[in-house]
Amino acid sequence: MKKRPPVSSGRKGCMKSPVKALSLFDSTCIIVGIIIGAGIYETTPVVAACMGGWIGVMAVWLAGGLLALCGALCYAELATTYPHQGGDYVYLGRAYGPWAGFLFGWSQLAIIRPGDIALMAFVFARYAATLYAPFPNIGTFYAALVVVVLTLVNMMGVRESKWTQNALTVVKVAGLLFVIVAGLLAPGGQGLPRAGGFSGDGLKLAMILVLFTYGGWNEMAYVAAEIKQPQKNIRRALVFGTVAVGALYLLVNGAFLHALGYDGLAASEAVAVDAVAKVLPHAAAR
């Protein structure tokens, strides 16, 4: 059988080797920071409504975490076997030929990544505009500004980018821990949430939303060539990061159920605000 040539981004010697500047902590922060986003706050009430009771809620989030961990372990094997830049582009090219990597790369460049960036910038702008809106349509300015700023940070280099990513990840985790603690400290006035049941259609929608909220664990493969000691750190970062996010998601759902009860969680339109308001009503209002 003819051996397929490796997929590469250029001829040997045409490009400098990437700087291996990412430690285990940096790599783990990439995974945690990419996975955790607004999704955990937006999807939790919908998932609860689909599952019909607290047992179903916790079970579907646990199942989603286990599926994400299985995927992360697969990517750990791929990324350590092919520790190159490109991630999915490299793997698809190895498996199916250069045409598959080419199509994937162009779909990412022309459709998927621009859409992701626009969506995240829009969400950021919407919340920023509620805090400070000196003139109409300020949201468009905020969205463009955050894209430009983060692009410039990435252009500065790997070290500057990793510091920014680490800082943003710490802020995200701290915010989630604050919500968890507030929910667990809330007075238990809702009673034991009902166990309930769920339908097949409800489970399908809930699992789609849960897997969407867990999405992003594969992104570290794109910077595999920039990780120190990739044979050890890639596996560890993928496992540590995915398990940590799964634990946080289970804790935050437990905190929401404790603070709001099942019915309150399923009906909430701003679940984090409602949970924090049980302990700090003035802070939640702000």
pLDDT at 255 > cutoff 70: yes
Question: Picking from 70-79, 130-139, 168-177, which range would have the lowest pLDDT averaged per residue?
Answer: 130-139
pLDDT at 112 > cutoff 50: yes
pLDDT for 198:
62
Quick one: average pLDDT of 90-100?
Answer: 90
Contacts of residue 257, Cβ cutoff 8 Å, sequence gap at least 6: 54, 57, 58, 193, 265
Spatial separation of the C-alpha atoms in residues 2 and 26, rounded to whole Å? 39
Structure tokens at 91: 């793997």
pLDDT digits (tens, 9 = 90+) for 29-45: 999 998 998 788 888 99
pLDDT for 32:
94
Terminal-to-terminal C-alpha distance of the chain: 66
Per-residue confidence band for 9, with pLDDT thresholds at 50, 70 and 90: very low
pLDDT for 170:
95
% of the chain residues with pLDDT over 90: 36
Question: CA 176, 24, 161 angle in degrees (round to 5)?
Answer: 70
pTM score, whole prediction: 0.82
Cβ(222)–Cβ(90) under 8 Å?
A: no
Spatial separation of the C-alpha atoms in residues 115 and 92, rounded to whole Å? 22
pLDDT for 62:
96
Structure tokens at 146: 């955050």
Q: Which domains are assigned to the chain?
A: 24-285 (1.20.1740.10)
Per-residue confidence band for 239, with pLDDT thresholds at 50, 70 and 90: very high
pLDDT for 84:
80
158-185 helix and 24-35 helix, angle to the nearest 10 degrees: 60
- Average pLDDT for the chain: 84
Length of the chain: 286
Per-residue confidence band for 125, with pLDDT thresholds at 50, 70 and 90: confident
- The phi and psi torsions of 125 (rounded to 5 degrees) equal -65, -40
Contacts of residue 128, Cβ cutoff 8 Å, sequence gap at least 6: 138, 139, 142
Q: How many CB atoms lie within 10 A of CB 241?
A: 26
pLDDT digits (tens, 9 = 90+) for 178-236: 999 998 988 865 555 555 666 667 888 999 999 989 988 888 888 888 888 888 898 89
Q: Which residue has the tokens 């400290």?
A: 185
Q: Which long-range contacts (CB under 8 A, 24 or more apart) does 161-166 make?
A: 162/21, 162/22, 162/26, 162/29, 162/30, 165/26, 165/29, 165/30, 165/33, 166/25, 166/26, 166/29, 166/33
pLDDT for 286:
55
Quick one: average pLDDT of 244-264?
Answer: 92
Per-residue confidence band for 263, with pLDDT thresholds at 50, 70 and 90: confident
Spatial separation of the C-alpha atoms in residues 198 and 209, rounded to whole Å? 15
pLDDT for 256:
92
From residue 139, give the alpha-carbon distance in Å to each of 120, 132, 145, 172, 209: 12, 10, 10, 22, 27
* Helix boundaries (H) for 132-270: 138-156, 158-185, 200-213, 230-267
Structure tokens at 205: 């929608």
